[in-house]
Amino acid sequence: MKPTDIATPAEWQNIQSLFSAITGLTSVTFDIDGNPVSPADFQNEFCRVFKSSPEGAKLCRESHMNIAQEAMVTKKPLIGRCKAGLIKVVVPIFYNGEIIGFTGGCGVYHKDFGLDIVSLIEAGALAGIEAEKVRELAETIRGIDKETIDEEIKILQTKVEAIVKRHQI
């Protein structure tokens, strides 16, 4: 079973778009193997440029798979950080008690801690982006507070549960 067995890519995209608009996260839905089921709607230019390089895309995938593996164990939504020091959120998609994929997003910083420009520059270098360009692209990255992200994760979970329930009827 895959997320696309219970909703179309367009339906997943609609949920992602709402989540992105409120949080500033680049939201994507993935199957259990880490393959996107709908396109990402990039919310900042750093992540768009970073992921457009093969090394950047590889680092993004590794970050996703690491936090997704942790979520497979905890069976709960998780907030982590990517190689660039930005927030990464995964929300498991359950069907009949089994995780069939994840939705969530990445690409914002925690307002209480500020933007980790050192990690951004280091990650950018791995993706072939010069430090000055990273600083310029960093201006497009939004911050978010813990209360907002926690609240939006609950809303995202509710939307996912509604899709699953609709399919099970």
Task: Look up the pTM and report it.
Answer: 0.90
Using CA atoms, how far apart are residues 24 and 20, in angstroms rounded to an integer?
5
| Residue whose entry in the numeric block shows the structure tokens 């998780």 | 78
Using CA atoms, how far apart are residues 54 and 128, in angstroms rounded to an integer?
10
Nearest to 42 by CA among 29, 34, 51: 51
- CATH class held by domain 3-168: alpha beta
Residue 18 has pLDDT above 90, yes or no: no
For residue 142, count CB atoms less than 10 angstroms from its CB and return exposed for 0-12, middle for 13-18, buried for 19 or more.
middle
pLDDT tens profile 106-134:
999 999 999 999 999 999 999 999 999 99
Hey, where are the domains in the chain? 3-168
pLDDT tens profile 37-63:
988 888 899 999 999 999 999 999 999
